[in-house]
Amino acid sequence: MDSLGQRLDMTHEASLTDVARYAKNQGISLVVVGPEQPLAEGLADACALLQLPCFGPLKAVAQLESSKAFAKDVMQAAGIPTAAYTTVHGEAACRKTAEEYLAATGGAVIKASGLASGKGVFVCTNQAAIDEGIERLYRSGMAKAAETVVIEQILQGRECSFFVFLGQGPATPLGFAVDHKRLRDHDEGPNTGGMGCYTPVPWLPADASDQVMQKVVEPLIEELKRRGLTYTGCLYVGLMWSVDGPSVVEFNVRLGDPEAEVLAVFDRRDWAQLIAAQLGLSPLPEGFVAAGRDNEGAAVAVVLASPCYPFGEGESKRFEIPSFIFENNGPDFCACAGAVRLEHGKYMTGKGRVLTLVARGKDFATARQRVYTAIHDLTAQWQGIQYRKDIGLSLVE
Shortest spacing between CB 15 and ligand AMP, in angstroms: 28
Residues 57-96 that bind ligand AMP (CB under 6 A): 83
149 interacts with, out of ligand GLY, ligand AMP, none, CB within 5 to 8 A per kind: none
Contact 245, 215 (CB under 8 A): yes
Over the range 338-348, which residues count as b (16 or more CB within 10 Å of their CB) and which as e?
Answer: bbbeeeeeebe
Within 10 A of 227 (CB to CB), how many other CB atoms are there?
12
Choose between 223 and 261: whose C-beta lies nearer to ligand GLY: 261
Bin 156: left if φ > 0, else alpha if -120 < ψ < 50, else beta.
beta
Amino acid letter, 66: S
**Selected range binding ligand GLY among 254-262, 279-287, 351-359, 365-373, rule: CB under 6 A:** 254-262
CA distance 233 to 311: 31
Shortest spacing between CB 179 and ligand AMP, in angstroms: 8
Q: Does 40 bind ligand AMP (CB under 6 A)?
A: no
Q: Does 338 bind ligand GLY (CB under 6 A)?
A: no
**Selected range binding ligand AMP among 148-156, 211-219, 288-296, 298-306, rule: CB under 6 A:** 148-156
Shortest spacing between CB 84 and ligand GLY, in angstroms: 24
Shortest spacing between CB 55 and ligand GLY, in angstroms: 16
Nearest 5 degrees, angle CA 363-CA 34-CA 296?
A: 15
Amino acid letter, 122: F
CA distance 394 to 310: 25
Q: Does 159 bind ligand AMP (CB under 6 A)?
A: yes
Q: Does 31 bind ligand AMP (CB under 6 A)?
A: no
Residues 184-203 that bind ligand GLY (CB under 6 A): 193-194
Maximum Cα–Cα distance across the chain: 61
3-state secondary structure of 310: coil
Q: Does 204 bind ligand AMP (CB under 6 A)?
A: no
Q: Does 257 bind ligand GLY (CB under 6 A)?
A: yes
Q: Does 261 bind ligand GLY (CB under 6 A)?
A: no
Bin 103: left if φ > 0, else alpha if -120 < ψ < 50, else beta.
alpha
Choose between 66 and 252: whose C-beta lies nearer to ligand GLY: 252
Shortest spacing between CB 200 and ligand GLY, in angstroms: 17
Within 10 A of 33 (CB to CB), how many other CB atoms are there?
23
Q: Which of 93, 123, 221, 291 binds ligand AMP (CB under 6 A)?
A: 123
Q: Does 152 bind ligand AMP (CB under 6 A)?
A: yes
194 interacts with, out of ligand GLY, ligand AMP, none, CB within 5 to 8 A per kind: ligand GLY
The site for ligand GLY, by CB under 6 A, has a size of 7
What residue ranges in the chain does DSSP mark as E strands? 31-32, 54-55, 85-89, 108-112, 121-124, 148-152, 158-166, 172-179, 182-184, 188-191, 196-199, 233-242, 245-252, 298-305, 320-321, 333-337, 340-343, 346-349, 353-361
Nearest 5 degrees, angle CA 220-CA 224-CA 33?
A: 85
CA distance 280 to 275: 9
Q: Does 142 bind ligand AMP (CB under 6 A)?
A: no
**Selected range binding ligand AMP among 90-98, 153-161, 192-200, 382-390, rule: CB under 6 A:** 153-161
Residues 217-246 that bind ligand AMP (CB under 6 A): 238
Choose between 101 and 251: whose C-beta lies nearer to ligand GLY: 251
**Strands across the sheet containing 346-349:** 320-321, 346-349, 340-343
Choose between 26 and 127: whose C-beta lies nearer to ligand AMP: 127
Going from the C-alpha of 123 to that of each of 46, 107, 128, 216, 357, the distances in angstroms are: 37, 8, 11, 23, 31
Q: Given the rule CB under 6 A, which residues bind ligand AMP? A: 83, 109, 111, 118, 121, 123, 152, 154-155, 159, 238, 249-250
Chain residues in the site for ligand GLY (CB under 6 A): 179, 193-194, 252, 256-257, 259
